[in-house]
Structure 1
Amino acid sequence: MSQVFNKLFKNPTRNEIMAQFYRKPEHEWIRGDGRISKIFDMLITSLPTEYLNELFVKNETLFILQRERLSTVLCFSPKTRIILVFENLIDLIKTVNATQAVAVLAHELGHLVFKHDKRRPDNLQAQLEADMFAIRLGFAQDLLDFLSDQMKTHDLIMRIGQVQNYLSAA
């Protein structure tokens, strides 16, 4: 009886979580391309266990391929969150700058970790917090490189400054 109980209620391992992630029908587009699955492997292995469980065990986080621009987060139910991955991000994955795509995806996960769908901070604050999540996962330089290639706005300049400050203090 205790073996059944332990099997039902034990915390899944990182490998079990990754296997479950890749088995989802919504992630077939990730499984089907080695370069894309490598980027998602990098992203998932960079997550501390606490966030891994929050994003993929306690809740369901799905990455849905879209034919638009970069990525965004949608929350449809308390337990299911969807990150739309656009064609531009897939194009980035297929370049020598693929780790910048990991930084973008980590940034999107940051919105979920900081519960921006519930807290509703102003846009700049949400972007800075999500950037800091990507930075803490080890993608500061990749994020800076990505942001530096985008059209400069006031908010983007603030975000670049935060990453530069982090890198200069490290």
Structure 2
Amino acid sequence: MIFDVCNVFNFFKLNPDGREDKTDGVLSLNQKIFMEKVALFKAMQSRYAMLTPEDKDMYVAIRDGFVDEISSLNRNYIGVQNNLKYVEKYSDIANWENFNQQKFTEVKKYIAPNITGESDIESARMFDYLAYRFSATKLVQNNNFAKTAKAIYEIARYLLLPIENI
């Protein structure tokens, strides 16, 4: 009997030659949520002086959450081991200061693929994803603001339905 303690079977099932295919760039919903939070963090940092005290508290909470989440990644997993340099780099709160496009790209390429997130209702996770996207688009005044707001409204309505109506 063989036990897959370090999630190696999954890695080699997805990457038969032993290397990750970085050309695809397909992220799971949890990984997309993580990257939307990173985009929101980056947008908040670039406009930090204009943030309200509540927004500044949120900024700190997001940053601290990143450090905690990345620090808690299982160092025994192959994907984490292959990117250990970046996992250690972004486990340090100092590396979230002056968060520029290069750092954003590093997080997307080397950290996000290792984020597993929580397993729960897919529509609730999609709601999280859209909420972070909504916040980021509002902050940078993106054209997708109204479209994202409508999608959030629809999912929120669905999530508020009584169980017997689903």
Q: Same fold (TM over 0.5)?
A: no
- Scaled by the length of structure 1, what TM-score is found? 0.25
| Higher alpha-carbon Rg | 2
By relative contact order (CA 8 Å, sep 6+), the higher-ranking structure is 2
